[in-house]
């Protein structure tokens, strides 16, 4: 793997070496990856968009090629807002950006749009995480400690490196049209076969209740003034679970004062599986923002 040059650049943000990838030219578009997501999940959609957008991706702590959070540090909404600021500042991005937050990252996208409205042109929630009643059953420090304990246990099991790769394949199946590229497969093996990734995933998952509670507090004090679009991925065959998901996503859109766009048939990782469709959504919303002025 050493012979493959990592894409992008590295910047020290909040004391952590942070991996940032920029492609293309045009208005700035910032992708925020899902829980456990990495820069390469957006490779196909970025290739489609990069002739008309400046597409920005970065790896949150412990994901991709970025440093991990120190032991005991709990992910927070405020820290991620500051991290996005620092990424944009490091790149010299001064014009408002279009944010596209996938899954859990919709929390960060919404928080940034509420906290920094002057830096945001619009926000798209890509099958975002909307929790009506956030639950934190144990103190955050306990859940964080348990996450680190679980990560050490997983490391001690000495699972084959292929286990993480299989997990990624299951989450994103059937994968992008034509499959993942050779370079993507190399980086998937590198990231998912390492010990940092499980720890980052468990730590962020353990903080989910805290992140939701912090965002709810921010909603009370910071109105959302930027245009928003909520996109929901729904299968062709609806089960009660998917009917509920559709209803909840509609409720999310009403909360944000956003347009609602259901996609069917589509899966949670449609950004990977249907990159052309994802690009069309972004282009359409970008055109709306341009007309809106």
Mean pLDDT of the chain: 94
pLDDT of residue 176: 97
Does 4 fall in a domain?
A: no
pLDDT of residue 161: 65
Reported as a single tens digit per residue, the pLDDT across 138-165 is 788 888 888 788 878 877 776 666 788 8
Q: HSE on the CB side for 53, CA within 13 Å?
A: 26
Q: What is the CA radius of gyration of the chain?
A: 18
The pLDDT-based confidence of 284 (bands split at 50, 70, 90) is very high
Strands 97-102 and 54-58: unpaired
Strand partners, 18: 11
Q: Give me the mean pLDDT over the 168-197 stretch.
A: 94
Q: Give me the mean pLDDT over the 206-234 stretch.
A: 96
Reported as a single tens digit per residue, the pLDDT across 225-281 is 999 999 999 998 889 999 999 999 999 999 999 999 999 999 999 999 999 999 999
pLDDT of residue 160: 63
pLDDT of residue 94: 97
pLDDT of residue 2: 46
pLDDT of residue 150: 80
Does 2 fall in a domain?
A: no
Distances (CA, A) of 204 to 101, 142, 195, 216: 15, 13, 15, 18
Nearest to 281 by CA among 181, 292, 105, 266: 266
Nearest to 123 by CA among 228, 224, 32: 228
- Structurally, the chain folds into a number of domains equal to 1
Tokens of residue 175, six digits: 């994968």
Residues above pLDDT 90, as percent of the chain: 82
Does 3 fall in a domain?
A: no
Range of the domain at 73: 9-292
CATH number at residue 180: 3.40.50.1820
CA dist., res. 223 & res. 123, Å (int) = 14
- Out of 48-62, 147-161, 197-211, 268-282, least confident range: 147-161
pLDDT at 1 over 50: no
Tokens of residue 152, six digits: 């050490």
Indicate the pTM of the whole model: 0.94
Q: Where are the beta strands (DSSP E) in the chain?
A: 9-13, 16-23, 28-32, 54-58, 97-102, 120-126, 228-233, 259-263
DSSP 8-state assignment for residue 6 = P
Q: Residue 262: CB partners within 8 Å, gap ≥ 6?
A: 231, 232, 234, 246, 249
pLDDT of residue 114: 99
Angle (CA) 107-267-236 rounded to 5° is: 130
pLDDT at 12 over 90: yes
Residue 12: other Cβ atoms inside 10 A: 11
Q: Give me the mean pLDDT over the 97-106 stretch.
A: 99
58-62, 208-212, 287-291 — most confident range: 58-62
Q: Residue 49: CB partners within 8 Å, gap ≥ 6?
A: 24, 29, 55, 279, 282, 283
Q: Give me the mean pLDDT over the 43-66 stretch.
A: 98
Residues above pLDDT 70, as percent of the chain: 97
CA dist., res. 202 & res. 290, Å (int) = 39
The pLDDT-based confidence of 4 (bands split at 50, 70, 90) is confident
pLDDT at 54 over 70: yes
């Amino acid at each position: 793997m050493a012979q493959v040059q990592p894409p992008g650049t590295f910047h020290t943000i909040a004391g952590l070496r942070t991996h940032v990838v920029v492609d293309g030219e045009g208005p700035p578009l910032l992708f925020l990856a899902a829980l456990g997501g990495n820069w390469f999940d957006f490779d196909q959609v970025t290739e489609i968009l990069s002739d008309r957008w400046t597409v920005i991706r970065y790896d949150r702590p412990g994901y991709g090629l970025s440093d991990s959070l120190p032991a005991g540090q709990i992910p927070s909404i405020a820290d991620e807002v500051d991290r996005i600021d620092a990424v944009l500042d490091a790149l010299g991005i001064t014009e408002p950006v279009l944010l596209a937050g996938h899954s859990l990252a919709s929390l960060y996208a919404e928080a940034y749009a509420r906290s920094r409205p002057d830096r945001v042109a619009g926000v798209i929630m890509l099958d975002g995480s909307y929790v009506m009643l956030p639950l934190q059953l144990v103190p955050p420090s306990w859940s964080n400690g348990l996450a680190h304990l679980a990560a050490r246990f997983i490391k001690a099991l000495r699972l084959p490196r292929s286990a993480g790769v299989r997990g990624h394949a299951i989450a994103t199946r059937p994968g992008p049209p034509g499959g993942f590229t050779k370079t993507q497969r190399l980086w998937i093996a590198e990231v998912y076969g390492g010990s940092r990734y499980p720890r980052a995933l468990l730590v962020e998952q353990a903080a989910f209740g805290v992140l939701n509670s912090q965002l709810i507090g921010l909603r009370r004090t910071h109105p959302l003034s930027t245009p928003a679009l909520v996109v929901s991925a729904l299968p062709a065959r609806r089960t009660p679970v998917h009917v509920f998901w559709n209803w909840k996503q509609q409720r999310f859109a009403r909360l944000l004062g956003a347009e609602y766009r259901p996609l069917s048939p589509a899966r949670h990782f449609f950004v990977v599986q249907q990159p052309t469709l994802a690009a069309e959504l972004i282009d359409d919303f970008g055109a709306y923002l341009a007309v809106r002025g």
